[in-house]
Amino acid sequence: NREAIVRVHDYYSRDPRFSFILLPENVGKRKAQIAAIGQSSGDLVLNVDSDSTIACDVVSKLASKMRNPEVGAVMGQLTASNRSDTWLTKLIDMEYWLACNEERAAQARFGAVMCCCGPCAMYRRSALVSLLDQYETQLFRGKPSNFGEDRHLTILMLKAGFRTEYVPDAVVATVVPDRLKPYLCQQLRWARSTFRDTFLALPLLRGLNRFITLDVVGQNVGPLLLALSVVTGLAHFIMSATVPWWTILMIVSMTMIRCSVVALHSRQLRFLGFVLHTPINL
């Protein structure tokens, strides 16, 4: 979409507050980040994805957390800017609330948010510069990696000894998929990143709180156990021609308990409708 970029460039290029880097071709997020970081001079670097809009106080709220020199990266709370469009965008907005206010908030209590998400993440530039070589040269199956930038950069920060934090009142609205196929493609890409970078982070877990270890193991083993239960249920149905009610009952019960707890925690009844996300997970 270079034509759209050029229009923005022409509008703001004479404003001394902005410096544009027009790369000759689309080289991907990672190399674009590296190009920008290389020309930056401030103490802090803010990454905002192109489909995201930040509230007017986000920068100051994230920057206040970075006053602690031990903090290398911090992220804000994500919401779906198109939440009201479809039933799927409503579910994804709830999913983001859970990911931020349960998972990231719990990890932040131990200074170890495992993934500072791309829509809005602030980094300490001095830490970034020291990690750029590792970040740029990451390989996956012998080829340069072209996915999972946010999680990998966060893992590198933690490996370098920095804390990673979450600020719940720094709100960022991002556009989410409104159709199932693009959403599933996105989730599969993110899942690849989660599994791959978890293996890279295993040596790191020894130096972190035991809760973080339990959390990381649960994030990775949980989906595998869910998949295994579905496969065994289907095998049972094929071999015996009987419905595996016990498997169905367990999945439904765990889903209802989880959604009820979240509805109570958030004081929002809409989370009872998050049960509809389970078939998508499956």
Q: Kindly report, residue by residue over 232-274, the tens digit of the pLDDT.
A: 999 999 999 999 998 899 989 999 999 999 999 999 999 999 9
Which domain-ending residue is among 186, 208, 230?
Answer: 208
The pLDDT assigned to 33 comes to: 93
The pLDDT assigned to 90 comes to: 97
Q: Is residue 111 part of a domain?
A: yes
Q: Which residue type is seen at 80?
A: A
User: Based on the domain organization, do 95 and 219 belong to the same domain?
Assistant: no
User: Based on the domain organization, do 244 and 204 belong to the same domain?
Assistant: no
**Across 89-95, average pLDDT:** 97
User: Based on the domain organization, do 54 and 164 belong to the same domain?
Assistant: yes
Q: Is 201 exposed, middle or buried (0-12, 13-18, 19+ CB in 10 A)?
A: buried
Widest CA span in the chain? 73
Which domain-ending residue is among 178, 208, 238?
Answer: 208
- Judged against a pLDDT cut of 80, whether residue 1 lies above it is answered with no
The pLDDT assigned to 121 comes to: 97
User: Based on the domain organization, do 55 and 80 belong to the same domain?
Assistant: yes
User: Based on the domain organization, do 105 and 226 belong to the same domain?
Assistant: no
Predicted confidence (pLDDT) per residue in 108-155, tens digit: 999 999 999 989 999 999 999 999 999 999 888 888 888 889 999 999
- Cα-Cα-Cα-Cα dihedral sign, residues 184, 116, 140, 192: negative
User: Based on the domain organization, do 191 and 236 belong to the same domain?
Assistant: no
User: Based on the domain organization, do 178 and 75 belong to the same domain?
Assistant: yes
User: Based on the domain organization, do 188 and 52 belong to the same domain?
Assistant: yes
The pLDDT assigned to 88 comes to: 96
User: Based on the domain organization, do 201 and 275 belong to the same domain?
Assistant: no
Q: Is residue 188 part of a domain?
A: yes
Range with the lowest mean pLDDT among 83-87, 169-173, 276-280?
276-280
The pLDDT assigned to 147 comes to: 85
**Across 8-19, average pLDDT:** 88
Contacts of 186 (CB under 8 A, 6+ apart): 177
Q: Give the three-state DSSP class for 48.
A: coil
Domain that holds residue 221: 210-281
- Judged against a pLDDT cut of 90, whether residue 9 lies above it is answered with no
Q: Is residue 273 part of a domain?
A: yes
Q: Is residue 201 part of a domain?
A: yes
Which domain-ending residue is among 208, 234, 269?
Answer: 208
pLDDT greater at residue 44 or residue 225:
44
Share of the chain above pLDDT 90, in %: 67
- Judged against a pLDDT cut of 90, whether residue 180 lies above it is answered with yes
User: Based on the domain organization, do 199 and 218 belong to the same domain?
Assistant: no
Q: Is residue 13 part of a domain?
A: no
- Judged against a pLDDT cut of 90, whether residue 178 lies above it is answered with yes
**Across 22-43, average pLDDT:** 90
For Cα atoms 215, 167, 223, give the angle at the middle one, nearest 5 degrees.
Answer: 25
Q: Which of 151, 133, 1 is nearest to 73 (CA)?
A: 151
Q: Is residue 104 part of a domain?
A: yes
User: Based on the domain organization, do 140 and 190 belong to the same domain?
Assistant: yes
Q: Is residue 25 part of a domain?
A: no
CATH of the domain at 103: 3.90.550.10
**Across 98-106, average pLDDT:** 94
Q: How many domains does the chain contain in total?
A: 2
Quickly count: other Cβ atoms within 10 Å of residue 244's Cβ.
17
The pLDDT assigned to 80 comes to: 97
Q: Is residue 9 part of a domain?
A: no
User: Based on the domain organization, do 203 and 82 belong to the same domain?
Assistant: yes
Give exposure, 262-274, as e/b (b: 16+ Cβ within 10 Å). Answer: bbeeeeeeebeeb
Euclidean distance between CA atoms 241 and 273, whole angstroms: 31
The pLDDT assigned to 3 comes to: 81
